[in-house]
Homo-oligomer: A and B are copies of this chain.
Amino acid sequence: MTQVKPMRADARRNYGRLLEAAAEAFAAQGEGASLDDIAKRAGVGSGTLYRHFPTRQALLEAAYVDRVEALAARADELGEELPPGEALVAWLNELCAGTLQVRGMKALLGSAVTDGGVAAVSCGTRVRDAATRLVGAAQREGTLRADVEPVEVLRLAHGVSTAAELANGDGDCIRRYVSLLTEGLRAGR
């Protein structure tokens, strides 16, 4: 399932180089980084980039799968360490912080929670599943409003990241804004 036909040695090498170059470029210059540049830095013809990654989204996704995986795994860790409500807050903090540190990831996660967006970015399900577990637990615990859906929490977190981004560099913003959000999401009030 992982690989129907094994790649030829050179293809495999190029694939790896492209991923590396892409991760660097997206991190440094955001999701708009020049694809041609990425190909050049990887020492590869531009056609090769398109063969492996037909769309910019595909490349973005491939470049950050492991980070997304890590984020999803982190949700489960936090879910075991902390009571549900706190786990959710802690995770949202890490989500937003990570999103801002690695510039291209914001765009990736954004399209992962866009309704009807780019054919449901595949790594998006990992994040949505993780969020679903945390949100469900917090709702059962009674500390989180019953009327919010997991994907909404992710969208709002994306909004928080955007707001923090506008504050350009003021790192405390993330925590402040996440806490405002979770304040608003708290059950009972």
Smallest CB gap from A160: residue in B: B159
Per-residue contact bits, chain A 114-135, to B (CB 8 Å; 1 contact, 0 not): 1111000000000000000000
Cβ–Cβ contact B170 & A115, under 8 A: yes
**Majority secondary structure, A binding face:** helix
Q: Which of B116, B159, B168, B189 contacts A159 (CB 8 A)?
A: B159
Per-residue contact bits, chain A 132-146, to B (CB 8 Å; 1 contact, 0 not): 000000000000000
Instruction: Say yes or no: is A57 at the interface (Cβ < 8 Å to chain B).
Output: no
Residues of B within 8 A of A168 (CB): 114-117
**Are A177 and B156 also in contact (CB < 8 A) when A110-B166, A168-B114, A183-B183 are?**
yes
**Which range holds the interface residue count of chain A?**
20 to 34
Residues of B within 8 A of A181 (CB): 180-181, 184
Instruction: Say yes or no: is A73 at the interface (Cβ < 8 Å to chain B).
Output: no
Per-residue contact bits, chain A 169-186, to B (CB 8 Å; 1 contact, 0 not): 110000001011111111
Distance in Å: Cβ of A153 to nearest Cβ of chain B: 10
Instruction: Say yes or no: is A162 at the interface (Cβ < 8 Å to chain B).
Output: yes
Q: Which of B160, B166, B185, B189 contacts A189 (CB 8 A)?
A: B189
Smallest CB gap from A165: residue in B: B114
Distance in Å: Cβ of A92 to nearest Cβ of chain B: 13
Q: Which of B116, B162, B185 contacts A180 (CB 8 A)?
A: B185
Instruction: Say yes or no: is A74 at the interface (Cβ < 8 Å to chain B).
Output: no
Cβ–Cβ contact A113 & B166, under 8 A: yes
Residues of B within 8 A of A152 (CB): 163, 167
Hey, which bits of chain A sit against chain B, CB under 8 A? 110, 113-117, 148, 152, 155-156, 158-164, 166-170, 177, 179-186, 189
> What 9 A-B pairs come out closest when comparing CB atoms?
A184-B184, A159-B159, A159-B163, A183-B184, A180-B184, A115-B168, A155-B163, A162-B162, A155-B166
